Amino acid sequence: MSKTISINAGSSSLKWQLYLMPEEKVLAKGLLERIGLKDSISTVKFDGRSEKQVLDIEDHTQAVKILLDDLKRFNIIESYDEITGVGHRVVAGGEYFKDSALVDEEVIQKVEELSLLAPLHNPANAAGIRAFREILPDITSVVVFDTSFHTTMPEKAYRYPIPTKYYTENKVRKYGAHGTSHEYVAKEAAKVLGRPIEELKLITCHIGNGASITAVDKGVSVDTSMGFTPLGGVMMGTRTGDIDPAIIPYLMQYTDDFNTPEDISRVLNRESGLLGVSEKSSDMRDIHEAMRAGDAKAQLANDIFVDRIQKYIGQYLAVLNGADAIIFTAGIGENSVTIRRLVVEGISWFGCNVDPEKNVYGAEGVISSPDAKVKVLVIPTDEELVIARDVERFKNQ
Ligand code: ADP
């Protein structure tokens, strides 16, 4: 019996979950926020308790020290020796990392080099990895990439029709994201359907604040909606998803909002999506509440959101030449009965439906009727567990 921590480090945050492995039991989880700022917050949840403290956390190394101290302070562990593994989520693995990898200096340097592809995320991920290496140098340390599940995409799917030199020299291609989630829910769906994944064509819809849809053929990703960065694909909380690229030079010329690459990135990544259209909120619960109160902008935000998901499902029905199941997961996919109903009802011609008695809050598993040609499922995602399992895989090698 050993304990493994999965780590998701952001630029100013560090989310963690401690597992007893191989039992896969969650012993505790927590979040350190506002790292590098004043009044940082550390929250630890365990045994039905939630403990919060406000303190100044300078950097990721200090955050890791605080988290490890908290584990002892709350008697979640007696000594650090009990922790035998750590798994780090890394956003961009580029073309280099086709699978998770054991951490060494070369791997960390590669993660840092790949910051060009994820400037907000990879440096933070690398800081988290270095912090653990400094404090617990001897445990099994593994990096798990958001992109590696998508490295199986064929070239026709991952290349953009732009001059080849931008691919060869600048590495501009589709990388996708949310790979651990798509892989996990695809495997879980195969179990629920009682069929080997090698026989199945699946469309996995990870619909949260960030959202992406993947075509999974025989267990491997053959196409995914997010692109070179997580900005592409379907509409999201604050991100545009796909738009005509000509909009950018046009707005650069005719408005004052698009003067620098940072401006463009901010508007498209943080001020668009549900928030941009509704002018109210990026949160689907707020959108639906406003919609019920008759807010036309919120209604439109909802309608575009549903439309883009339907179109991507349609694309992937074409890419896969049919599908056995559509799977909903993440914050909206798992919780919004309305979004699932609207998406599926509008594409019922393909042979899918939702049974109103099964499509309820808290639903898990199949929510379509027994005669549906394309089954519809809700599978709660668990990216932390995928990371912890990967650590086990490397421990046992
Ligand atoms: P992130 O990409 O930040 O991990 P999540 O997967 O947590 O995002 O999803 C957040 C989204 O899930 C928000 O838009 C939130 O409104 C939505 N959500 C959560 N619960 C519900 C619910 N009961 N009904 C509708 N939407 C919900």
pLDDT in tens, 348-361: 999 999 999 999 99
Q: Between β-strands 2-9 and 14-21, what pairing exists: parallel, antiparallel or unpaired?
A: antiparallel
Strand partners of residue 17: 6, 29
pLDDT in tens, the chain (397 residues): 699 999 998 878 899 999 999 999 999 999 999 888 888 999 999 999 999 999 999 988 899 999 999 999 999 999 999 999 999 999 999 999 999 999 999 999 999 999 988 887 899 899 999 999 999 999 999 999 999 999 999 999 999 999 999 999 999 999 999 999 999 999 999 999 999 999 999 999 999 999 999 999 999 999 999 999 999 999 999 999 999 999 999 999 999 989 999 999 999 999 999 999 999 999 999 999 999 999 999 999 999 999 999 999 999 999 999 999 999 999 999 999 999 999 999 999 999 999 999 999 999 999 999 999 999 999 999 999 999 999 999 987 8
Other Cβ atoms within 10 Å of 59 Cβ, number: 12
**Bridge partners for 19 per DSSP:** 4, 26
User: Does a cis peptide bond (omega within 30 degrees of 0) precede residue 370?
Assistant: no
Residue located via tokens 């960065």: 229
Q: Tell me: the pLDDT tens digits for 230-278? A: 999 999 999 999 999 999 999 999 999 899 999 999 999 999 999 999 9
Q: Residue 116 has what pLDDT?
A: 85
Does residue 303 carry a catalytic annotation?
Answer: no
What pLDDT, in 10s, does the model give residues 97-130? 999 999 999 999 999 999 988 887 899 899 999 9
Task: Pick the catalytic residue from 39, 81, 138, 146.
Answer: 146
Q: What is the pLDDT of residue 4?
A: 97
pTM of the shown model = 0.93
What does the pLDDT read at residue 38? 84
Q: H helices then E strands: how many in the chain?
A: 14, 14
Q: Please tell me if the CB atom of residue 335 comes closer than 6 angstroms to any atom of ligand 1.
A: yes
Contacts 24+ apart (CB under 8 A), 260-269: 268/231, 268/239, 268/240, 268/243, 269/231, 269/238, 269/239
Q: What is the DSSP letter of 334?
A: H
Whole-number Å distance, alpha carbon 332 to ligand 1 midpoint, is: 5
Round to the nearest angstrom and report the end-to-end CA distance of the chain. Answer: 17
Q: What integer pLDDT is reported at residue 12 of this predicted model?
A: 85
- What pLDDT sits at residue 67? 94
User: Is there a binding annotation on residue 8?
Assistant: yes
CA distance 338 to 342: 6
CA distances (Å), origin 20, targets 6, 26, 57, 89: 11, 6, 27, 19
Given the CA of residue 210, which atom of ligand 1 is nearest to it?
A: 2
Q: Which string of DSSP letters, residue by residue, matches 64-133? A: HHHHHHHHHHTTS-SSGGGEEEEEEEES--TTT-SS-EE--HHHHHHHHHGGGT-TTTHHHHHHHHHHHH
Rounded alpha-carbon distances, angstroms, from residue 43 to 34, 74, 121, 222, 349: 12, 12, 22, 39, 47
Query: In the chain, what are the domains?
Result: 2-145 (3.30.420.40), 194-383 (3.30.420.40)
Decide whether any atom of ligand 1 lies within 6 Å of the 283 Cβ. Answer: yes
